[in-house]
Chains A and B, each alone.
Chain A
């Protein structure tokens, strides 16, 4: 198992290097280059020249890349043109919100998706089955931001049941230690602040969770259908094991293997920036920052965020692979 993990970690090295080359080249290829990125659109030529001199942008491109890589390893991605803050601190400020949102969305998708997929497979061809197949097709084809707007219009604007923007009511004077608002509320025993943060997660969480929900239903359904037809299930039934035992020990356990992979991959995708959903709900996480950076042409922030998010995505995928190796011994052998 250790060898499997080490091998997977080593395979990451060229991917991470490649990523850094791509994003380094990306900033260079932009009109104006890194100087414009750091100083903003209206920088005078003199300031650009001074910047180029100060940051060694007149040096050999390979030397520049190595310096960029050296800084990136120390988590230094430059400063945001808009706020003047370091990109890393901007990221750390906003990432907890995105993590909370992702966890909520995935809890929604798994909590609803796995039982639905199981039921659909159990009643293969029945009403639940057909409804979930159609529903999961719709879930994948509906534009996320449209769904988000609909939810917001209906439940926040018209009915007023749930908050439709932000992460917490501004009137609540909450103490923030970790920037995980729900966790902060729990740590400081400010229960109303924690609850308020949770209510702010509901609508964006449902919007964000729809695609994973649709995919999880499909995969669970297919996996259960596959397993139910396996010889060992027939054997278990023939042995006279109770329906519950067969279900829990044989069907669900084996069907959850592919489902767990899907859950991992989807979590990675959601973490990497719920740009659309966060924009609609002005959520203030990583996604909102990316959207803001696109309209502000805040290239340094875009570069840093995309690089960090891609690394997060790669690491989550690695975790998924490793956990798959733990769950299924056949994978390790490969």
Chain B
């Protein structure tokens, strides 16, 4: 890039924006095309990305339309009278996937369960990303002593393995839906913080940031207006991937008895955990929610991985 030429007064901003934009596309490769557009173009040709997107889309539709899609009331213990010790009625007319040990229609519970997974995934990811990004911006934007302090704190959080961290937070806050989401979010905070900080440090040393500084732009404007937007792509990728981990972790915490005790909300993790008790009678009861978790987590992972490849200049061959 050529050295920035100083233009007097009001044209400065446009000049810097232009420089910043050019720097962005330069690091992004393919000339004259914005990072976003080239990423979308890449994604549309990628069968992996399309598979992931379709899975996620179906999941979203099912979750939103659950009351209309579910064939029955997920709480009605319709076939309870036929459940005996060591025998649970299987699939039949009107109950395509059979009933659970309390005589409730499994398909309807799976459909409703998608809502819980969606809520848990989105809320815990948004929470974790928000706090993590705040720390990341503080560290990466201010640098110096703030950076040292924030990063030491993040390192301490990272030194407790994820599941143990989630367990400690859950035990502390008690077993309920909110504490489940907070517990998962806490494990994500240090990841987002480190990621954003690292990415901001790279951008801070880039030519366009240097140019902006040379032109006397305020640090706040450089950090929030130029460096931050250009550092977001790894965060977006991580958020997509963390939706998958959140759903899996929620299932694990449910299994450990730290899940949502409110039985009025059917949840895949809780269904999977409670199905273990009747595994030798009807293993399908565990297999169905597990498959749902695997497929949805797979969808988010595929989408996240292909996003990473589409946004990362290293992969553009």
Contacts and interface: CB of A to CB of B under 8 A. Distances in A.
Interface string A16-35: 00110011001001100000
A306 B164 contact: yes
Say what secondary structure dominates the interface of chain B.
helix
Nearest to B299: A141
Contact of A143 (B168, B171, B252): B252
Interface residues of A, number: 42
A138 B251 contact: no
B283 A275 contact: no
Interface string B51-80: 000000000000000000000000000000
Contact of B257 (A22, A269, A295, A302): A295
B3 to A, nearest CB: 30
> Residue among A157, A279, A290, A306 with the most chain B CB within 10 A?
A306
A108 interface: no
B280 A15 contact: no
Contact of B252 (A145, A297, A314): A145
Interface in B265-306: 269, 272, 276, 279-280, 283, 286, 290, 293-294, 297-298, 301-302
Interface string B153-167: 101100111011001
Nearest to A271: B161
A279 B167 CA distance: 14
B172 interface: yes
Interface in B203-239: none
A29 B172 contact: yes
Contact of A302 (B171, B276, B290): B171
A256 B223 CA distance: 38
Contacts of A273: 161, 163-164
> Residue among B163, B258, B283 with the most chain A CB within 10 A?
B163
Given A141-B244, A272-B164, A26 B172 contact: yes
Given A137-B301, A310-B160, A153 B280 contact: yes
B294 A275 contact: no
Contacts of A30: 171-172
A313 B256 contact: no
A302 B168 contact: yes
Contacts of B155: 15, 18
Contact of B160 (A19, A137, A276, A295): A19
Contacts of A145: 251-252, 255, 276
Nearest to A297: B171
Nearest to B252: A276
B290 A294 contact: no
A149 interface: yes
Contact of A19 (B159, B276, B302): B159
A275 B256 contact: yes
A283 to B, nearest CB: 15
Contact of A314 (B159, B272, B293, B301): B159
Contacts of A43: none
Nearest to A280: B276
A313 B156 contact: no
Q: How large is the interface on B (under 10, 10 to 19, 20 to 34, 35 or more residues)?
A: 35 or more
A290 B156 CA distance: 21
A117 to B, nearest CB: 16
B168 A153 contact: no
> Residue among A138, A149, A273 with the most chain B CB within 10 A?
A149
A144 B168 CA distance: 20
B290 A146 contact: yes
A14 interface: yes
Contacts of A15: 152, 155-156, 159
A140 interface: yes
Interface string B171-213: 1100000000000000000000000000000000000000000
A310 B161 contact: yes
Nearest to B300: A141
Nearest to A314: B159
A278 to B, nearest CB: 11
B301 A140 contact: yes
Contacts of A268: 161
Contacts of B160: 19, 22, 306, 310, 313
11 contacts: A19-B156, A23-B168, A143-B293, A143-B294, A153-B279, A268-B161, A272-B164, A273-B164, A290-B164, A290-B167, A299-B171
Given A273-B163, A310-B159, 18 more contacts: A30-B171, A137-B301, A138-B294, A141-B244, A142-B290, A143-B293, A143-B294, A144-B252, A145-B251, A146-B286, A150-B283, A269-B161, A275-B164, A295-B257, A302-B167, A302-B171, A310-B160, A313-B161
The 6 closest A-B pairs by CB, nearest first: A18-B156, A141-B297, A272-B161, A146-B290, A310-B160, A314-B159
